[in-house]
Structure 1
Amino acid sequence: VEGVLSQHPGILRCVVVGVPEVRLTEMVAACVQLRHGWRWDENDEVEDFHCLSRRILNNFCRQKRLTGFKIPKRYFLWGGSDFPLTTTGKIRRDEVRTRVMSFNNHYYAASKI
């Protein structure tokens, strides 16, 4: 999933984690950092070349033949800092998941964390 999302020209970095969800037991959540000059806009009636939304990224995933259950259900815009890393340079997914789950009660198509 990360490999597919990383192919989009507007995505600088992304981390995908599974988070608990009542109906599906677990859901796919993607934390994304946008490239400079790109913006997030859920009201994407006007097709702006440098604009991303949940709909645009989900369509991109479908075009890349990503299976439906792997397509992220939520997107989170990761703040200015890099993703947390271990001492060996690997992403600390447990920390990313914890930050995503802290927004569990506040549903936004793209929450800023």
Structure 2
Amino acid sequence: MTTEEKAVKQAELHFKMLCNYTSPEELIKRAYRAGYLAGATEALASQWKDPKVELPEDDRQVLVETDCEDKELRHAISYFLAGAWHFPDDWYYDCRVLKWMYIPPLKGDDA
């Protein structure tokens, strides 16, 4: 789905939801909130990178998603060095990295 198609779908979804509000002020507040949340969700989802296409800087810690069957081990902190992924403990010895992303800094109210 293209970005434009996603935008149209989000607009239609939020329009239906907002039609229940009679106050124009409340309607505008809810529309802005919904748009912000949808944009933030999309932005975070697009930060994941394919390790077959791009690798992180050597020795920099990143968040990874693995193919481990144990769901508690599915996500981990890892780093790439000397042509291999490294994990802080031995639980991941047979797990393969499916995707990775740099860990975004915490700013503002979330810090």
Please tell me the TM-score bracket, short chain as reference.
under 0.3
TM-score by length of 1: 0.24
- TM-score, normalised to structure 2, is 0.24
Larger Rg: 2
**Going by fraction, where is helix more abundant, 1 or 2?**
2
Looking at secondary structure, tell me which structure has more strand per residue.
1
